[in-house]
Amino acid sequence: MTPDAGPATILGVETSCDETAAAVVVGGRSVRSSIVSSQVDLHARFGGVVPEIASRAHVELIGPVVAEALAAASTGLHDLDAIAACRGPGLAGALLVGVSAAKALALVTGLPYVGVNHLEAHLYAAWLEEPDLEPPLAVLLVSGGHTLLVIMEAHGRYRVVGQTVDDAAGEAFDKVARFLGLGYPGGPAIDRLAPDGDPEAIRFPRAMPGEPNFSFSGLKTAVVNHARQHPDTPVADVAASFQAAVVDQLVDKLAAAADGAGAPTLVLGGGVAANSALRARVGTLGAATGRDVFLPAPAFCTDNAAMIAAAAWWRLEAVGPTPLDDGVDPTAGLGVVA
């Protein structure tokens, strides 16, 4: 299904976790502006996102961030065709800020409102830089809250073929980095340190071989046990060996899922898709198996609002606007949009 309504200019809003973001995207692909205000500094001393602090910061930031996105796109509210916001999954109080702001703007302008699923938006980030991408795609969606293997059969049609049975991949990065004293968020910290270490120094477990689902909690425990038993091991070696175990698990299952579905194209999405080792390995996998590979730029892998506006464009055409009495859904699954 291809939207035929022509280019629509959509303001996207994203406040599901600790980034306050707004973006203007035309035709689901062309990014006119993408502003992301990270609250990382507010949460760092707690070692993770504190929901109440996140909600309050969103309230303060949403107005200026939306204004900046419109200004950077040289777009006024009257130039827009729709206003979209992430409705879940995410933190309830945080989601409410973005959804309420988007609905208020829709009300005063009379424009349609579109509620967007955060996971679906991570998939649609791929179209921001690869406008001609065509399903079927095998997508590895790896973030702080989710680890999903998705076969995207068509626009709006997803088959989840694997998911984590415990921690999400990003959660494992964050917990291990915290244990190693590398700070928050942990993924970028481990990514930066790993090249200084030996990824084969310690053979950490690759969980659930031959199965489509993922598990990272045993790996986290193995890292903790190793560090306690061998305190002299260089932290860079632990970080590199941990990262290698995560990447091996992710890439092996992505390869099997793509084989199983006969998907000719591999796509990464979500914050962990910014990881350099993962990106390199997926590139190698594509070259070795004759598959096209698409890796969104790191800024479109981590949370942003351009992906919300992109997904909204497809959803607006396929399903139409979302009623203004639609709420937020903190535990929404992929593609569940009222």
- Yes or no: say if 144 and 172 are a contact pair by the CB < 8 Å rule: no
- Which range, of 189-197, 209-217, 246-254, 297-305, touches Zn ion by CB under 5 A? 297-305
Q: Of the candidates 12, 112, 135, 170, which one interacts with ligand KG4 according to CB under 6 A?
A: 170
Alpha-helix runs per DSSP H in 155-229: 169-179, 186-193, 217-229
- Yes or no: say if 70 and 77 are a contact pair by the CB < 8 Å rule: yes
Footprint of ligand KG4 on 248-287 (CB under 6 A): 270-272, 274-275
Least gap, CB of 336 to Zn ion (angstroms)? 16
Count each helix (H run) and each strand (E run) in the chain, helices first. 11, 10
Q: Of the candidates 124, 173, 204, 294, which one interacts with ligand KG4 according to CB under 6 A?
A: 173
Which residue's CB is nearer to ligand KG4, number 79 or number 252? 252
- Which range, of 24-32, 76-84, 159-167, 184-192, touches ligand KG4 by CB under 6 A? 184-192
Least gap, CB of 268 to ligand KG4 (angstroms)? 11
Footprint of Zn ion on 142-161 (CB under 5 A): 143
What one-character DSSP code corresponds to residue 85?
E
Q: How many CB atoms lie within 10 A of CB 86?
A: 33
- 173 makes contact, choosing from ligand KG4, Zn ion, none, with CB < 5 to 8 Å by partner type, with ligand KG4
Q: Of the candidates 12, 162, 187, 296, which one interacts with ligand KG4 according to CB under 6 A?
A: 187
d(CA 223, CA 205): 10
Q: Of the candidates 240, 303, 309, 332, which one interacts with ligand KG4 according to CB under 6 A?
A: 303
d(CA 91, CA 330): 6
What one-character DSSP code corresponds to residue 200?
T
d(CA 329, CA 277): 33
Half-sphere exposure at residue 142, Cβ-oriented, CA atoms within 13 angstroms = 32
Q: Tokens 């942990």 sit at which residue?
A: 186
Q: Of the candidates 19, 120, 174, 303, which one interacts with Zn ion according to CB under 5 A?
A: 303
Which residue's CB is nearer to ligand KG4, number 237 or number 303? 303
85: β partners: 13, 115
Query: Is 304 near Zn ion (CB under 5 A)?
Result: no
SS3 state of residue 158: strand
Q: Tokens 């993924």 sit at which residue?
A: 187
Site string for ligand KG4, 143-162 (x = CB under 6 A): xxx-----------------
Query: Is 191 near ligand KG4 (CB under 6 A)?
Result: yes
Least gap, CB of 47 to ligand KG4 (angstroms)? 12
- Yes or no: say if 322 and 288 are a contact pair by the CB < 8 Å rule: no
d(CA 25, CA 4): 16
Site string for ligand KG4, 76-115 (x = CB under 6 A): ----------------------------------------
d(CA 265, CA 258): 8
- 274 makes contact, choosing from ligand KG4, Zn ion, none, with CB < 5 to 8 Å by partner type, with ligand KG4
Q: Note the residues at the interface with ligand KG4 (CB under 6 A).
A: 17, 143-145, 170, 173-174, 185-188, 191, 270-272, 274-275, 302-303
Q: Note the residues at the interface with Zn ion (CB under 5 A).
A: 143, 303
